[in-house]
Amino acid sequence: MDDAVFNEENGQLTIPTDRSLIQLNEICRTYDVGTDPQPVLHQVSLSVTRGQSCAIVGSSGSGKSTLLNIIGLLDQPTSGHILLDGQDITHASPEARAITRNQTIGFVFQSFNLLPRLSALDNVALPLLYRGYERQAARRAAQREIERVGLAKRAHYIPADLSGGQRQRVAIARALIGKPALLLADEPTGNLDSGTAKEILSLLLSLNREQGVTLVVVTHDERMAQQMQRCLRVEDGRLHES
């Protein structure tokens, strides 16, 4: 963080907003399928600055979800380098990657990935419990996030008693509770009707604008992609900017 500025009045570091939060350099990803290597990503380079909203689009099997998994530290490239906020984390240990995911990245998935026996409130509190927060403090923070996504009256419902759109709002609240710099969403409206999908898209974009959360969304929906500041297209494992 050599370009950060120290503010003596509040004792905080100010990081320039044009700094790249995500930097991919010549990323390749190959999977071993039987005896034959199967290349999925080819020489992908990408820079995303803080506060941007980006869509990643492409047909099924194009490599877009693999790319998102690499950005989110859920997968590692076969070659190339990935930097997050200027730090090269390509070869970070599994423990270091898990800590970075918990503290820096929020995830929203098409299938919601909520724990079925926990209430909406406790699902949202879970990431803070993993950080070692006391349970009541985590639940108070979760209540604030639940209210922010408009589900204050559903905080104690379990996922089975919520609609698809409500479950996705819970998932978004859970992704945001740790104050991540980066929000990754994989087909976040894929299981929703068109009206609910518009509501979820509006919520994601408002979080990007109002909180400055960097937003990267994998989607098949061209209309959603057009709402983002950037549209990145993956074709046969290669990345192009629309």
- pLDDT attached to residue 10: 43
Residue type, 23: Q
Buried b (16+ CB within 10 A) or exposed e, 126-158: bbbeeeebeeeebbebbbebbebbebeebbebe
Beta partners for residue 186, in sequence order: 109, 218
The type of residue at 180 is: P
> Residue 51 in 3-state DSSP?
coil
Domain 52-75+93-241 has CATH 3.40.50.300: yes
pLDDT tens digits, one per residue of 82-136:
999 889 999 899 999 998 988 899 999 888 899 999 999 999 999 999 889 999 9
Taking the domains of the chain in order of start, what are their residue ranges? Answer: 52-75+93-241
Reduced to 3 states (helix: H, G, I; strand: E, B; else coil), residue 27 is strand
Q: Give residue 71's pLDDT band: very low, low, confident or very high (50, 70, 90).
A: very high
Q: Are 21 and 49 in contact (CB under 8 A)?
A: yes
Average pLDDT score over residue span 67-77: 94
